[in-house]
């Protein structure tokens, strides 16, 4: 048929366009943004078979030409440099092969028909030299990853040469980028001094890779390649200013304090009361107009904790959810977009997500592990929401008291001295890096707040078995009479 080549090319374009539209509509593209990596990581940690699921997700994303770099960085952050390199390599190789097969099946014959007599120009990529040419292009950052995947399929490269050259050629770049991601996460968390050394090593490796195109140009490898740059979006929050440098601009948390005293009992929240409160709406407006950078550090941290907890209540009410926060954005049992990735927070003159507040501001800036007993995610498995607002003048005492309260909840946290076993909330393993990077560090933190002397000795020894307790995602709602 005369127009069939155009039809087949249009079909390939439509398939890829449909994949992008679906990814945008479901929020996947938003989740794949580099500044949304904490959300992707948090979601992945909730998957029982995280590594296989990650490989499958990586492969599907790459097959349809969606951004793969965030997945590589997330793999390093989730699984560490070595296991992360393996799962990233598997996902990238499978995805590159999927994209190749898709382009080859739909567009190969169409491209050759459209080129006519000029199709002979493709023979260089399909002949004996194909493997060497592809391997060089994979080793060097010369052509965009997705572009080479589809281009090789359209050109008619032999599958064996393509898969082998891809599997071998992506190894160095995958290892470097994965190591960079893991080092960056460790450095941001501030858990260990060695993290800074790892960031430095990863940075040197990335710089060395950036010089490879120049060396390749001198070797004559760039005659048919397009040099593209790779950029990263840093996720570090701006450092807080000293109170001595700028005037104070405290937020009055008294209205929130009164509402919490009235509508929060033993951690259970009357969401309906907050939903209809004009005082709560005005308090949210005050948070939005505040200038936390002008506050003393303790006031800043109290402000951001209150921001997180207040806007979690607001998120629940804005979606009229009364069963579980994880039901937000869930359709047919599938979460299309993390509730913590909703840009609902108005604070400090910015629009943020709850993940932004926790992972880009509070954790890297203040480096206080006690925040994990103060931030409440609207679930019964969370620490209990206090019946008072946090304030800078009493913040240390409030955080210490909050830790004692949370660790005293026996269904979430308890120590069996006889069995030398600690049963603890998954919060402590999810954020182990903030407690020194080890379970012994978690034990040392616990030992500061438990009352039993024998339990403290066991916890300080670090020689115990850890068991995660079940995390109840049921909404921490207060039953109305």
Span of 330-344, 373-387, 439-453 with lowest mean pLDDT = 330-344
Vertex 391 angle, CA 436 and 266, to 5°: 80
Top mean pLDDT of 24-38, 40-54, 167-181 is at 167-181
Instruction: Please check whether residue 22 is in contact with residue 16, taking contact to mean a CB–CB distance below 8 angstroms.
Output: no
The predicted-structure confidence for 53-90, as pLDDT tens digits, reads as follows: 888 888 888 887 777 777 777 777 777 777 888 888 99
Q: Which residues contact 316 (CB under 8 A, 6 or more apart)?
A: 271, 322, 325, 378, 475
Instruction: Please check whether residue 320 is in contact with residue 281, taking contact to mean a CB–CB distance below 8 angstroms.
Output: no
Q: DSSP letters of 101-167?
A: HHHHHHHHHHHHHHHGGGGGGGHHHHSTTHHHHHHHHHHTT-S-HHHHHHHHHHHT--HHHHHHHHH
Higher pLDDT pick, 2 / 377: 377
The predicted-structure confidence for 285-309, as pLDDT tens digits, reads as follows: 999 999 998 899 999 999 999 999 9
How confident is the model over 94-108, as a mean pLDDT?
76
- Look-up of token digits 């994880």: 326
Vertex 19 angle, CA 180 and 146, to 5°: 45
The phi, psi pair for 420, rounded to 5°, reads: 50, 45
pTM more than 0.75: no
Predicted pLDDT of residue 228 = 32
Predicted pLDDT of residue 380 = 95
Judged against a pLDDT cut of 50, whether residue 157 lies above it is answered with: yes
Q: Which residues contact 17 (CB under 8 A, 6 or more apart)?
A: none
| Strand 345-347 relative to strand 334-335, pairing | unpaired
The predicted-structure confidence for 106-131, as pLDDT tens digits, reads as follows: 655 554 454 444 444 444 444 556 67
**Structure token digits, residue 386:** 């206090």
What burial letters (b/e) apply to 251-275, b meaning 16+ CB within 10 Å?
Answer: bebebbbebbeebbeebbbbbeebe
User: In the chain, where are the structural domains located?
Assistant: 4-218, 254-405, 414-468
How far is residue 347's CA from residue 211's CA, in Å, rounded to a whole number? Answer: 42
What percent of the chain shows pLDDT beyond 90?
A: 43
Predicted pLDDT of residue 243 = 36
Predicted pLDDT of residue 27 = 60
| Through-space distance between the first and last CA atoms of the chain, rounded to whole angstroms | 74
Smallest Cα–Cα separation from 287: which of 333, 217, 345?
Answer: 345
How far is residue 260's CA from residue 283's CA, in Å, rounded to a whole number? Answer: 12
Instruction: Please check whether residue 351 is in contact with residue 227, taking contact to mean a CB–CB distance below 8 angstroms.
Output: no
Span of 40-49, 100-109, 181-190, 416-425 with lowest mean pLDDT = 181-190
Predicted pLDDT of residue 469 = 94
């Amino acid at each position: 048929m005369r127009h069939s080549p155009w039809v087949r090319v249009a079909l390939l374009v439509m398939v890829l366009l449909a994949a992008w539209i679906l990814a945008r509509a479901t929020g996947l593209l938003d989740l794949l943004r580099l500044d949304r990596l904490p959300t992707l990581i948090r979601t992945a940690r909730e998957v029982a078979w995280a590594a296989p699921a990650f490989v499958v997700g990586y492969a599907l994303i790459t097959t349809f030409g969606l951004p793969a770099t965030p997945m590589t960085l997330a793999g390093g952050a989730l699984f560490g440099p070595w296991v992360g390199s393996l799962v990233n390599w598997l996902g990238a190789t499978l995805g590159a092969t999927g994209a190749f097969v898709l382009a080859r099946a739909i567009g190969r014959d169409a491209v050759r028909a459209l080129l006519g007599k000029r199709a002979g120009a493709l023979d260089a990529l399909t002949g004996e030299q194909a493997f060497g040419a592809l391997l060089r292009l994979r080793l060097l950052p010369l052509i965009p990853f997705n572009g080479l995947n589809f281009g090789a399929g359209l050109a008619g490269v032999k599958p064996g040469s393509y898969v082998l050259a891809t599997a071998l050629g992506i190894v160095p770049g995958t290892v470097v980028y994965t190591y960079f991601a893991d080092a960056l996460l460790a450095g941001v968390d501030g858990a260990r001094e060695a993290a800074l050394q790892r960031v430095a090593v990863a940075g040197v490796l990335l710089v060395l890779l950036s010089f490879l195109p120049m060396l390749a140009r001198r070797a004559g490898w760039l005659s048919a390649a397009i040099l593209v740059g790779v950029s990263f979006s840093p996720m570090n929050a701006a450092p807080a200013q000293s109170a001595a440098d700028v005037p104070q601009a405290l937020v009055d948390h008294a209205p929130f304090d009164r509402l919490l005293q009235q509508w929060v009992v033993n951690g259970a929240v009357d969401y309906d009361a907050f939903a209809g409160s004009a005082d709560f709406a005005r308090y949210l407006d005050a948070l939005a107009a505040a200038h936390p950078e002008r506050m003393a550090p303790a006031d800043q941290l109290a402000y951001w904790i209150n921001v997180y907890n207040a806007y979690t209540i607001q998120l629940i009410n804005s979606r009229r959810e009364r069963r579980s926060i994880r039901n937000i954005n869930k359709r047919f049992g599938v979460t299309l977009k993390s509730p913590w990735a909703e840009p609902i927070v108005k604070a400090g003159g910015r629009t943020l997500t709850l993940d932004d507040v926790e992972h880009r501001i509070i954790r890297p800036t203040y480096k206080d592990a006690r925040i994990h007993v103060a931030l409440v995610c609207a679930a019964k498995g969370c620490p209990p929401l206090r019946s008072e607002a946090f304030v800078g003048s009493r913040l240390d005492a409030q955080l210490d008291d909050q830790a004692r309260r949370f660790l005293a909840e026996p269904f979430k946290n308890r120590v069996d001295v006889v069995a030398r076993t600690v049963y603890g909330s998954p919060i402590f393993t999810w954020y182990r890096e903030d407690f020194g990077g080890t379970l012994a560090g978690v034990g040392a933190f616990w030992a500061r707040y438990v009352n039993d002397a024998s339990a403290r000795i066991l916890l300080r020894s670090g020689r115990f078995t850890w068991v995660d307790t079940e995390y109840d995602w049921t909404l921490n709602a207060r039953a109305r009479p």
